[in-house]
Chain A
Amino acid sequence: MEALGYVLIPFQQPFLLLLIAIGVFVGIYVAAIPGLTGTMAVSLLVSFTYSWDVNAALALMIGIFNGASYGGSRSAILLNIPGAPAAVATALDGYPLAQKGEAGIAMGVSTVQSVIGGIIGTVALAVFTPAISKFALNFAARDYILLAFMGLMLVGSLGNKSLAKGIFSAALGIMVGCVGLDSMTGAQRFTFDNTYMMPGINSVVAMIGLFGASEAIMQIRTRDLPIVKQNVEKIVPTFKSIIKHLGLTLKSSFIGVLIGALPGAGGSIAALISYDQAKRSVKNPEVPFGEGAIEGLVAPETANNAAVGGALIPMLTLGIPGDAVTAVILGALFIHGLNPGPTMMTSTPHLFYLICSCLALSNVFLLIFGLTGIKLTTKLVEIPKGRLVPMIIVLSVIGSFALNKNLYDIFWMIAFGILAYLMKQYDYPIAPAVLGIVLSKMIEKNFKMIMILGETGEGGFLGTFVLKLFTSPISFVLLVAIVFSLLVQTKWYKDWQQKREAAKAQK
């Protein structure tokens, strides 16, 4: 009964309902603008909502998160430019549909599938989180370190050309988190006796720079790309069509939840894997994949919204974000004085149920806003980037100042923006850096615990850490997962895989 009371909080406070609705609306339209992502929107939002009541801030952020996971599909379908990374796979079949004048059908299908995926993701979040929370109480310091490394490794490797660049970016992020006074000894690190540097670099300021300012600068490079105008008519998919693709929907949702729940892997990877799976498993699509197959929309759109619920699971149970957006939300929860992790379910259970409730409601709003406002989208994606870019910079400036009312923070934001822009030019991924910044404190705390245990415990470092890696089942499974994720990145594995595929093709 207590849980039900928490779930009903948004219904008792219409303001929260309104915030969820606003969040979904803003999320859809921000992500629909090519180049602007939900991560950027949420990171800007953290700085504006830090003084709010935590329920209100969460309602808005969850709304944006879910809305943005879907919103990118609109520009992917209309312009062949994925509005957000999670919509890359959607463009593959969505745009060919639009070219045939069926953009309405494409958007209708992607909306309904996103909602179904979102609901399944919410159910998974509600069902699995309490159990995983209890299980996570068994995690030792080394397990947290291993989980964090697994997350950093995944986000650094999947979808990137170079694992070394991904790991570099993650290490840089953790290093940024080390700047300032050491939490245990109070010793100065990289402060150069400057009092401004002593509290450290504000993680939200860094995130706004890395995602907001850098994306704005990137947009200048592509501002002259011609925009193809589309005529769209809204067509809601038939019930029959939804039932026809139910099997694929369920499979894609499963992939979405699973990939989303892996620390570091998010909706964009879930959508790509799910698209790839659909391509392999759907034998006779009405239209071939890549030429406007409905299945090519069903799979990624279901998966990327199912991944929203999935990504919140490790964040709430282990304090390790499932993807870049949850990394930012985790940062926001820290700012609000909360400590997501295994004890969150017992210390602040209302927040968990509130998050589930907000996510479920956001899917209802997603259905409403997704099936309307198509014309508004076409107008919005046509806003000249020359006007959009200065606007993002001003919002980034306001956001980075709002947290500490410190003008130096604005310079940090700009510096991180320029750094991320330069890194992007040479294919250095940015998401691992953000994940590193957010996880930095947790990693260092657990690292020190391991080292202190190693220095003082029985058997030394070998007995307290190395041997435990092999004797503790949790640690061993995580270690194997890390080794495996490293292995699949090696040249030998890739060569072997290529040979295997060539042999299959010959048969």
Chain B
Amino acid sequence: MKDKLRPGERVFSIAILGFSGWLLYQSLLMFQKAPSLSGYGAMPLMLSIIMLLCMVKVIVLEDRTKEKEAPVSSAVEAVKSAASFLLPKDVLVFIVMMIVYCAALQLGLGFMISTSVFLFLSMCYLIPKAYAKNAVFSVVLMVFIYVVFKMIFKVTLP
């Protein structure tokens, strides 16, 4: 049985091919400055060529032979289908929460505050209606983290 082409798979492959091409260009620039096989640009050049060739094989020989999904009527629909496969709402919201949490740490809001808020909000999003349990779990976890990492492991917290 043929493997199915997943929504957005071909676009992902092409995007990676593009990325590999960009790496090749950057590596060539490096290689031009030190045009020797033992120079600092040789290894990235070799790797980017390998990456590029692999992606050409994936696109030309693998993706094309896979069974296609039901055809979509418009580009917008194709994007929607790929987005819902790759980043369903829950995953997307959680990734945004992670990024906001890291940004809060970067902005200096403090580890204890940022982490407590992140834990509570993300738990409430993933397990709605269990606010009290989530709050208790967040507090217990914060105490655990403080005791184990700060006091026992002597780890510097962000």
Binding site for B on A (CB under 8 A): 48-49, 51, 161-162, 164-165, 167-168, 171-172, 174-175, 178, 182, 184-185, 187, 189-190, 213, 217, 220-221, 223, 384-387, 389-391, 393-394, 397-398, 401-402, 405, 407, 410-411, 414, 417-418, 421-422, 425-426, 443-444, 447-448, 451-452, 454-455, 461
Contact = CB atoms under 8 A, between A and B. Distances in A.
A426 B98 CA distance: 23
B62 A394 contact: no
B99 to A, nearest CB: 7
B127 A168 contact: no
A54 to B, nearest CB: 16
B54 A164 contact: yes
A411 B102 contact: yes
B105 interface: yes
A391 B16 CA distance: 31
Interface in B69-97: 85-86, 88, 90-91, 94-95
B28 interface: no
Contacts of B55: 164, 168
- Which of B55, B126, B156 has the most C-beta atoms of chain A within 10 angstroms of its own C-beta? B126
Contacts of B91: 217, 220-221, 421
Interface string B92-112: 001100110110011000000
Interface string B21-44: 001001000100110111111111
A386 B54 contact: no
Contact of A390 (B43, B123, B158): B123
Given A168-B58, A171-B48, A461-B37, 20 more contacts: A48-B155, A161-B3, A171-B47, A178-B44, A189-B30, A217-B94, A220-B90, A220-B94, A384-B127, A386-B126, A387-B134, A397-B115, A401-B157, A402-B155, A402-B156, A410-B106, A425-B86, A426-B9, A451-B37, A451-B42
A461 B37 CA distance: 10
Given A175-B48, A178-B44, A165 B54 contact: yes
Nearest to B102: A410
28 contacts: A164-B57, A165-B54, A165-B58, A168-B16, A168-B55, A182-B40, A185-B39, A189-B41, A190-B44, A217-B94, A221-B90, A387-B134, A393-B101, A394-B119, A397-B101, A397-B105, A398-B158, A401-B157, A401-B158, A402-B155, A405-B156, A407-B106, A410-B106, A426-B6, A447-B42, A452-B38, A455-B36, A455-B37
Given A189-B30, A189-B40, A164 B62 contact: yes
B102 A189 contact: no
A150 to B, nearest CB: 16
B58 A386 contact: no
B141 A394 contact: yes
Interface residues of B, number: 62
Contact of B98 (A164, A391, A414): A414
Interface of B: 3, 6, 9, 12-13, 16, 20, 23, 26, 30, 33-34, 36-44, 47-48, 50-51, 54-55, 57-58, 61-62, 85-86, 88, 90-91, 94-95, 98-99, 101-102, 105-106, 115, 118-119, 122-123, 126-127, 134, 137, 141, 145, 149, 153-158
Given A168-B58, A175-B48, A410-B102, A394 B36 contact: no
Q: Chain B binding site: helix, strand, loop or mixed by DSSP?
A: helix
B14 to A, nearest CB: 12
A223 B126 contact: yes
Contacts, number: 158
Nearest to B155: A402
B85 A425 contact: yes
B123 A393 contact: no
Contacts of A189: 30, 40-41, 44
Contacts of B156: 401-402, 405
Contacts of A447: 42-43
User: What 8 A-B pairs are tightest by C-beta distance, nearest first?
Assistant: A386-B126, A386-B127, A182-B40, A451-B38, A168-B54, A451-B37, A390-B122, A401-B158
A449 B50 CA distance: 21
Contacts of B102: 397, 407, 410-411, 414
Nearest to A453: B38
A127 B145 CA distance: 41
Nearest to B108: A407
A121 to B, nearest CB: 29
A398 B106 CA distance: 13
A175 B23 contact: yes
